[in-house]
Amino acid sequence: MTNWRENLPGLREYVADRAAATDRGETDLRDTLRHLGERGLLGLDATPGDTGVTDVAELLELVAAECLSSAFSCWAHRMVIEYLGAAESPALRRLRDELVEGTVVGSTAMAAALQEAAGMRTVPVVATPQADGYRLDGPIRWASNLVPGAVIVLPARVGDTDARVVVAVRAGDPGVSVAPPARLLALNATASSSVTLDGARATAEHVVTDDLRSFVRRARPVLLLLQTAFCVGLTDRALEEARSAATGEGSVLAPDVEALAVRLADVRGRARHAQRAPAEADPRAVTQLRFDAAELTLAATRLEATARGGLGYVTSSPTNRRLREAAFLPAQSPSEVQLRWELSRF
């Protein structure tokens, strides 16, 4: 798409106007995904031959600057588009087209695969071979965008063997039970919860791959780089607000703002380099980048709250919302603990 940036000013206004209501859980992020899909933005960097993710990263940065809930939902959706990029079955290709259009919602449930690849734990969902596919049993401990009909992409282990598959199911299908969402500190509009699979079915044409190791190797750098992008967007906005408040007596914070701005420039530069060719990025460098980006976001939102004073403690303020949004990052998969674990083992 050559002129996709022409839609960005209106998009920023659209997301910003809904941010407060989204923070209260009063909006439906399916509307945002449809809005993006109608403008062709969900298909950025997702056409055959695309090797980079620079454009979609820029999109996520912009959205996160106004509302991390919206950016996070978009990230989860976009990762499902990524997963289905190499799918060969007509059924999965049709689903991917609908995801790009924003008429169907995608939910990534691949945390267990990343954890297994890191040597932390075993994929909990069991796939039992049947005549035309698999029976699925077990838990998905956390996923987002779990609206009715969402396409959930997840890993499963085949019986007691070392074999693994990645499959797609739909929220609400027989045997796919989504728990009521818990009340969160932020991101309450993201339809985040757990899923229980009890006799769910994945037909052969809904098997994304039977090579989990190669699948994770391809998907992991994109996943981390797009998470980094929404960290960068949120950080950028927090520092912009902190800088505007660092006047008068608040000028004592100006050196802190500029120090974090230097760190942001470094993170953004490393991210842009890796986004051009994720498949060629060094795994340790991308892991470190994601870790650094989240740490920086936490520091920037705290500094903004410090600079704004009492306003940062008012839950309805954008400053407070950004502080709460950033608090999610150490828990998001891969969590801070997992990132530290992986970095210690490279």
The pLDDT tens digits for 284-320 are: 999 999 999 999 999 999 999 999 999 899 999 999 9
Per-residue pLDDT at 2: 54
The pLDDT of 227-248, averaged and rounded, is: 98
Query: Quick check: 68 pLDDT over 80?
Result: yes
Q: What is the pLDDT of residue 4?
A: 79
Tell whether the model's pLDDT for residue 1 goes beyond 60. Answer: no
4-101 maps to which CATH number? Answer: 1.10.540.10
The class of domain 213-345 in CATH terms is mainly alpha
Give the model's pLDDT for residue 9. 76
What are the residue ranges of helices labelled H in the chain?
A: 8-23, 29-38, 54-66, 68-83, 90-101, 111-117, 212-245, 254-275, 283-308, 318-326, 336-345
Rounded to whole angstroms, the Cα distance separating 269 from 335 reads 23
Shortest CA distance to 169 belongs to which of 153, 158, 156, 145? Answer: 153
pLDDT confidence of residue 194? 98
Name the residue ranges covered by the structural domains of the chain: 4-101, 106-211, 213-345
Rg value, the chain, Cα: 20
Tens of pLDDT, residues 176-202: 999 999 899 999 999 999 999 999 999
Task: Give the Cα separation of 209 and 298 in Å (integer).
Answer: 36
For residue 277, pLDDT beyond 70 = yes
Q: What is the pTM of this model?
A: 0.96
Return phi, psi of residue 168, to 5°. -120, 130
**Most distant CA pair in the chain, distance:** 73
Report the distance separating Cα 333 and Cα 246, nearest Å.
34
Question: What is the predicted pLDDT for the residue at 88?
Answer: 87
Report how far residue 296's alpha carbon sits from residue 44's, in angstroms, rounded to the nearest whole number.
26
Q: What is the pLDDT of residues 136-167, one digit of tens each?
A: 999 999 999 999 999 999 999 999 899 999 99
Q: What is the mean pLDDT of residues 61-68?
A: 98
Domain boundaries 106-211, CATH class: mainly beta
Write the DSSP symbol of residue 178.
E
Six token digits for residue 147: 């609206």
Q: What is the pLDDT of residue 3?
A: 77
